[in-house]
Structure formats: C-alpha cells, structure tokens
C-alpha cells in the first residue's frame, strides 16, 4: 500500500496516518497556505480523471450540510488516485472512544442514537442511503457532538466494483438483511443503527462469527433479547431496539428519527436505567486491609519496600521555624530544606495537618517528612517505579499515588487501607492528578490526551474527557460550582501538548471554553481557588491561568470568558499555582526562578531562586508557606508573601 506521509495532495501536505479502513487510508493533512488541518481520505482505487460518475457522486456527498455530518471540503483526483478532504475530528471515532466490549449508560446511547438519526433522516429526505452506519464512521466533534462520516463512499466504491473482503468484514455485522441481498433502502440504515445501539447497551453485537455465519444470522436468526444479557435494561427499551432489528424492513419504524424518538421515550419511562451498564475499569478486589499502623507502612507493602520504614521522629522545631512563626519573617525566607532525595523532584503535597509533606522523585522513592524541620519521617523505595505523582484529597483523608506502570493507587490515610487501584490509564503515562474540592473524585490526565474523572472510593469512572489532541500536562478543578462558568457544575481546566487550555464540565464532559491563541505547549494550569470581586460593585468571578513553553503566562476570567492578563516571561513557565485564598499566583520557570504575584494588583511580590529549574510547588494549607522542588533534588519550604 502506498504511503503518502510527507506527500502533497491538492493543497494539503499529509503529515500522519490517522487510520485505515476497508477501501481507504485517512491522513492528517495541513493546508500548505492556510495551515489549517483536515482529514484526507485517499481511496485505494484508481479512476480516470474524466470519470463522470465519480464527480456526480462527489457532488452528492458535498451537498450534505448538517450539524451531525462531517463536512466534506474538497474532492480531487491526483494522477488517478481519488481523495477527499474532510473536517478533521481530533477526538477520533466512537469506536476509539468506546472500544469493543464497552457497555454504555442508556442516556449516552440515546443521545448518540438521536444525533446519528438526525443526520440520517436529513440524508434520507435527500433520497440518500448511507449503507455503512457503524461506530467507526461516527466521529466526535469539537463540542463533543457526533458527526457521521463516509456518506456515499460505500456507494462510490461499490460502483467501482472493488469492494474488498476486508471492507465487507468491518461492515457486515451492521448490515441489514435486505442490503446483504443487494436491495439497500432507508430502513437499512435504521437496522444498522439499531445494531450499534444493541452493541453499546449489551457490550456485544447480536451476530458474530465467520462471514458466512454472520450473513446467515442477519438473514434468518432473531437477535438474543437484550435483557437476556443485561436484565437491567428496561423492557420498553429492548422492545424499541428489537423493532428496529426486524428482518422485514416494513416492520421497522416508519423512519429513522421515529426510531430515535421511541428510544428516548422508552428510556425516560424508567429513570433507574441511568445506572445500568457502567464500563468496568476498576479493580475493587485490590481493596486490601493492611495490618500496619501507618499509611506509610501500607505504601511500603504495596511498593515492596527495600528499606524497612524508620520510626517517625519527633523533633523540636528549629529556631528558624519558630522565628518565622512568631516574627513574621520576610517572604522568601527559607524555614526548612529537605535533602534526602537523590534525584529530581516529581511531585509533592502537604498533608492536612500542615506539618508533613509527601514527596516523590525520579529516584523512585516516596518520602514523608516534617515540613517544619526538613527531617525525614519515612521513605519507601520502589523497585517498579510505581510512584511518580502524589495527590491528596481536600479533606486530607485520602492519598493517591500514580506510577509509570499507569496504575493509580488510592490510600485511606487514617484507616490505613489501600482503597483500590485504578487501571483506566493502562498503556499510558499519568502526567497529572487532582482531587475535586468537595467530593471524593479524582481527575487524572495521561499522555494519550484523556482526562479521567472517577470515584476514588469505588474506582467507578464518571467521565472520560477527550477534548485534547495531545498529551495533557496538567489540570486543576474549579474550586466550587460558583467559580465555574455561569450555569455549569464543577469544572476542570486542562492543558498540554496541543497548546490549548480547555475548561469543561465534569459531570457531562462538555467543553465549556477553549483558549488557544498561543502555539506553544501548555506546561502548567491553575484555577483561582476563590470567587473574588474584581472591583467594588462588580460581580464575583474566578480565573484560570496557564504557563507555556514559550514563557507566556495567561489568565482568563471564567465568568466573562475573556482574557484578563497575558505576560511573557523570558523562559518557559513549567508550573503555576494559586494560593489557597486566591490572592496570590506563583509560577516556576526554566531559568530556576519562582515568582509570586498579587492577583489583585498584578504586582510581583517576591522572587525565589533554586539551583536548578523548580518543577513543583505547593502552598501549605494555611497559605503561609510554599514548598518547592525540582531538578536540584532539594525541596525548600519558604515563607509565602
């Protein structure tokens, strides 16, 4: 098969392969003049440039304009290779979002079915039949909407007479009996969509096996009722799906939209059905009771400690700490240094008592130490490099550690239980983790660009956000619903390699705002932890901010949804964080500096220097101190302004 990477088709330079189907390859392309991105579908067929039927078909496809249909931007024949240019969907297909075997909540299924049915009803009204309705041809748009693709492509390639066996193989499990017999009609699309819905609700397609087995089942075997596999599916919902799956097209719903509406109605008859079919990505069996008396000890068990835990040492506060406390030492005064790590610091958190810090570093150890003295309390060495990140719940009771084995372990800090292990990121690297401000929800971001929000007690995933097209570097929660953009519940801001900052609603996974006016990677993001008044009489608002690889620091008001500050620092800004009261904003940069600003006056209050670039920092719970560390392996605790 020809590889077109680096080549030019029409006005597009093809940069990478997005995927391959039965009769085409799809590439990501960049417009050579406009730099815009598009998906270029290169058909595996050759046609003569003057083949009129091909142009006629192309026109038919390009004529379709609908919010749930992928826009076709251009058609061309390069040499004798036909290609078409369509909108690029960075979030991929519904097949990629929900791999085979995934069961979806009923509400999600009805929403998907409704959107696809709207698109198909529009096409049917235009006298077109899709013929290839399946999750691979449902793309996820920028606002999480579903976009049906490959309209008429099936027809084109069929007309060309070289519909290969692989192509049939991908499509056959969804193909209606009359279409298999060569008589496709509008009701055939309804049948295919019903197979897709069945698959999402049950976790498996009704007909599987070899090609001949599938064909004979499509033609003559009744599908197994859905409730035989999943008894929690409401009977009315099952009835709607089975009607759309009637072998006789005349017995199905009058039109495809009627099918979607019937499904919505049936699902609303029974609200308890919202709870069915959660994807299972959790290992609750990992909730083991460990006999030891400290979280530290259970971490040690789990991480297969090389060194035995040392007893916690209680020491007197050194003069500098007492002094700092009593005499209000100037901002930037170091009160403790922790020197026990031997490699770059990766992550650190203050425990709820405001006295202890848990830190992890590249030497693969987890340390618990006294923030007031810099004295080590516990260290745990981990042979499998399990600990790269650490996060603490808002109430201080739970700790999560994430490793390069992609597992996140949740620990109860007071009862010494390993609550469970989250495995949803398998095969990825977890870059960032943050707890919700109120509930026991954890958000974790990974190199594949997804952010997972899940219940820390049960491991149940709540939302998987896929708005990013590159690795997500950092995320932060809105501190409360009132700090979220108006009309929305708790939100998350995330940013990373795709250079965009995105705010999105946690429960719905809906993108609320997308800020992307700088081309540089986003290294740090934060959400101001309070709702404050900008000026007397003004309404309250909250901000998200970011630091970028080109040194750009930007802030947006999430209420007014506009940029309120942008500032270019001379070096890459790798970490940003707000003080607990929201009045200070700190950022760390590649030139070894940390600067702290007053967010009301936009004045710099203090500059703190490390020997090497700082990578992480955290405010103490009372807002009085900052602990920061990075490549120089030393964590410093210093007085915050």
The secondary structure element, H or E, covering residue 114 is helix 106-125
474 contributes a contact to ligand ATP by CB under 6 A: no
Burial of 199 (0-12, 13-18, 19+ CB in 10 A): buried
**How far apart are CB 157 and ligand ATP at their closest, in Å?**
8
- From ligand ATP, Mg ion, none, interface partner of 88 (C-beta below 5 to 8 A by class): ligand ATP
The one of Mg ion, ligand ATP, none whose footprint includes residue 455, by CB under 5 to 8 A per kind, is: none
557 a catalytic residue: no
Minimum gap (Å) between residue 1 Cβ and ligand ATP: 12
Q: Does 70 bind ligand ATP (CB under 6 A)?
A: yes
Return binding residues. 41
The H or E element containing residue 296 is helix 295-302
Q: Candidates 4, 61, 117, 136: give the one binding ligand ATP (CB under 6 A).
A: 136
Name 193's Cβ contacts closer than 8 Å, sequence gap at least 6.
Answer: 113, 116, 117, 120, 133, 244, 256, 259
What is the spatial distance between Cα 540 and Cα 227, in angstroms, rounded to a whole number?
Answer: 50
Among 9, 14, 24, 303, contact with ligand ATP (rule: CB under 6 A): 24
Residue 26's binding partner out of Mg ion, ligand ATP, none, with CB under 5 to 8 Å set by partner kind: ligand ATP
Structure tokens at 359: 């830190």
199 binds, among ligand ATP, Mg ion, none (CB under 5 to 8 A by kind): none
Q: Per CB under 6 A, does 86 bind ligand ATP?
A: yes
The Cα 121–Cα 119 span in angstroms is 6
Pairwise CA distance, residues 594 & 547, whole Å: 12
Nearest position to ligand ATP, beta carbon: 21
Could you say which of 115, 137, 503, 541 contacts ligand ATP (CB under 6 A)?
A: 137
Report which DSSP code applies to 285: G
Nearest-CA neighbor of 200 among 89, 111, 118? 111
Q: At what angle do helices 186-202 and 106-125 cross, to 10 degrees?
A: 170
Contact 177, 187 (CB under 8 A): no
Is residue 18 part of the contact set for ligand ATP (CB under 6 A)? Answer: yes
Question: Do 234 and 196 contact (CB within 8 A), yes or no?
Answer: no
Helix or strand run (H / E) with residue 600? none
Per the annotation, binding residues for ATP are 41
Minimum gap (Å) between residue 132 Cβ and Mg ion: 7
Report the nearest approach of ligand ATP to the CB of residue 132 (Å). 5
Shortest Cβ distance from residue 614 to ligand ATP (Å)? Answer: 38
Closest CA to 574 of 535, 619, 611, 526: 526
x/- contact string, 140-159, with ligand ATP (CB under 6 A)?
---------xx---------
User: What residues line the site for Mg ion (CB under 5 A)?
Assistant: 21, 137, 150
Residue 23 binding ligand ATP, by CB under 6 A: yes
Return phi, psi of residue 421, to 5°: -125, 125
The dihedral sign for the CA sequence 547, 386, 102, 267: negative
Question: Is residue 39 part of the contact set for ligand ATP (CB under 6 A)?
Answer: yes
Quote the least distance from Cβ 70 to Mg ion, whole Å: 10
The residues that touch ligand ATP, with contacts defined as CB under 6 A, are 18-24, 26, 39, 70, 86-89, 92-93, 96, 132, 136-137, 139, 149-150, 167, 170-171
What residues act catalytically?
Answer: 132
């Amino acid at each position: 098969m020809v590889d077109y990477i680096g080549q030019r088709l029409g006005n597009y330079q093809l940069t990478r392969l997005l995927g391959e189907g039965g009769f085409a390859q799809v590439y990501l392309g960049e417009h050579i003049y406009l730099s815009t991105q598009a998906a270029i579908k290169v058909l595996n067929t050759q046609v003569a440039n003057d083949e009129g039927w091909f142009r006629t078909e192309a026109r038919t496809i390009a004529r379709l304009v609908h919010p749930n249909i992928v826009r076709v931007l251009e058609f061309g024949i390069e040499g004798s290779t036909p290609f078409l240019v369509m909108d690029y969907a960075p979030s991929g297909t519904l097949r990629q979002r929900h791999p085979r075997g995934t069961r979806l909540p009923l509400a999600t299924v009805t929403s998907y079915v409704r959107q696809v049915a709207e698109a198909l009803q529009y096409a049917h009204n235009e006298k077109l039949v899709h013929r290839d309705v399946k999750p691979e041809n449902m793309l996820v748009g920028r606002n999480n909407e579903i976009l049906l693709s490959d309209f008429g492509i099936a027809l084109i390639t069929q007309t060309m007479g070289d519909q290969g066996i692989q192509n049939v193989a991908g499509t056959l499990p969804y193909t209606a009996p009359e279409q298999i017999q060569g008589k496709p009609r509008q009701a055939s699309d309804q049948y295919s969509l019903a197979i897709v819905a069945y698959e999402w609700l049950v976790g498996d397609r009704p007909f599987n096996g070899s090609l001949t087995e599938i064909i004979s089942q499509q033609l003559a075997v009744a599908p197994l009722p859905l409730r035989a596999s999943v008894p929690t599916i409401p009977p009315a919902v099952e009835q709607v799906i089975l009607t759309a799956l009637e072998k006789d097209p005349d017995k199905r719903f009058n039109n495809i939209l009627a099918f979607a509406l019937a499904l919505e109605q049936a699902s609303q008859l029974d609200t308890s059905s919202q709870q069915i079919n959660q994807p299972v990505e959790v290992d609750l069996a990992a909730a083991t009771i460990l006999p030891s008396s400290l979280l530290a000890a259970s971490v040690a068990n789990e991480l297969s400690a090389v060194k035995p835990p040392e007893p916690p040492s209680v020491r007197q506060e050194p003069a500098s700490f007492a002094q700092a406390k009593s005499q209000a030492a100037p901002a930037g005064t170091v009160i403790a240094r922790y020197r026990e790590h031997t490699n770059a610091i990766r992550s650190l958190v203050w425990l709820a008592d405001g006295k202890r810090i848990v830190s992890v570093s590249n030497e693969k150890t987890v340390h618990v130490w006294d923030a007031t003295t810099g004295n080590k309390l516990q260290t745990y060495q981990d042979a499998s490099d399990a600990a790269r990140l650490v996060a603490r719940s808002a109430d201080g009771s739970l700790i999560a550690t994430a490793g390069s084995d992609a597992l996140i372990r949740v620990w109860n800090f007071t009862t010494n239980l390993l609550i469970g292990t989250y495995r949803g990121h398998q095969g990825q690297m977890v870059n960032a983790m943050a707890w919700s401000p109120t509930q026991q929800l954890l958000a974790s971001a990974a190199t594949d660009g997804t952010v997972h929000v899940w219940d820390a007690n049960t491991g149940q995933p709540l939302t998987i956000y896929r708005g990013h097209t590159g690795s997500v570097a950092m995320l932060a929660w809105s501190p409360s619903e009132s700090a979220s953009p108006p009309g929305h519940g708790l939100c998350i801001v995330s940013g990373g390699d795709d250079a965009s900052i995105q705010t999105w609603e946690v429960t719905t996974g809906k993108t609320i705002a997308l800020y992307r006016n700088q081309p540089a990677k986003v290294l740090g993001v934060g959400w101001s932890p309070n709702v404050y008044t900008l000026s007397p009489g003004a309404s309250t608002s909250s901000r998200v901010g970011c630091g970028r690889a080109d040194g750009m620091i930007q802030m947006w008001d999430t209420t007014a949804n506009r940029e309120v500050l942008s500032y270019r620092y001379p070096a890459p800004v790798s970490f940003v964080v707000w003080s607990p009261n929201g009045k200070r904003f700190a950022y760390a940069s590649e030139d070894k500096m940390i600067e702290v600003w007053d967010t009301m006056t936009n004045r710099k209050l203090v500059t703190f220097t490390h020997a090497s670039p700082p990578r992480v920092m955290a405010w103490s719970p009372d807002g009085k101190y900052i602990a920061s560390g990075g490549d120089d392996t030393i964590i410093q605790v210093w007085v915050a302004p």
